Amino acid sequence: MKAVIINYHAGNIRSVMFALERIGVNAVLSDNTEEICSADKVVFPGVGEASSAMRYLKEKKLDEVIKNLKQPVFGICLGMQLLCKHSEEGDTDCLGIFDVNIKRFSPFEEDARRGGDIKVPQIGWNKIYDLRSPLFAGIKENEYVYFVHSYYAEKNKSSIASANYITEYCCALQKDNFYAAQFHPEKSAAAGEQMLKNFFAL
């Protein structure tokens, strides 16, 4: 099996590569169109800023490549957000695979109710629930996974998991061959490892 991690100069990509190595998957890190298109599985991870990431994808014509992929694709964190329609971060039009908008957490109302203990970004462990996808096989409801993000996906028809931080939001998506997670499977211990195994077993 050939696995490719899309290289678009976003942070945290190599930690995904190391996580895949731990489950026996040797992935190639590439921004080459032919290499990406010929992969059996494609991972689209990243940490960074939406507008600059989209600029790079467009410069390399990777935006059209990603939209036309037919094999299983897994977007992680920024990768998930870029698969959506629009992000408030930099007022950015994204790839539009998921008909979903990305919003910034607004802590003020909830902060007042809770006495000022809510911070943005969300950094740390939080539970996920309403799990409904083969991606979560062997993972129990209310499992804890690791998040780092200031922006979130609105609840939508493509949602396959939810989380709650300031507001209830969609933390994982699936449509056709595209899967995505807001949290970091590569940093989510046994549950994250199981999720990566599930993706590569699809």
Alpha carbon distance 96, 104 (integer Å): 18
Given the residues 149, 170, 171, 184, the one annotated as active site = 184
Cα 6 from chain centroid (whole Å)? 13
Q: Which residues of 70-86 are buried (b: 16+ CB within 10 A; e: fewer)?
A: ebbbbbbbbbbbbbbbb
Among the listed residues 77, 84, 94, 170, the single catalytic one is: 77
Residues belonging to the chain? 202
Angstrom distance (rounded) from CA 86 to CA 94 = 5
Tokens for 170, please give them: 């969609």
Give dist(CA 86, CA 93) in Å, integer: 5
Active site (annotated) includes residue 170 = no
9 is known as an active-site residue: no
Strand partners, 27: 3
- Catalytic residue, chosen from 64, 86, 186, 193, is 186
Residues linked to residue 159 through DSSP beta bridges, in sequence order: 173
Taking the C-alpha atoms of residue 52 and residue 68, their distance in angstroms, rounded to an integer, is 21
Whether 184 is catalytic: yes
Closest CA to 14 of 53, 60, 41, 45: 45
Residues serving a catalytic function are 77, 184, 186
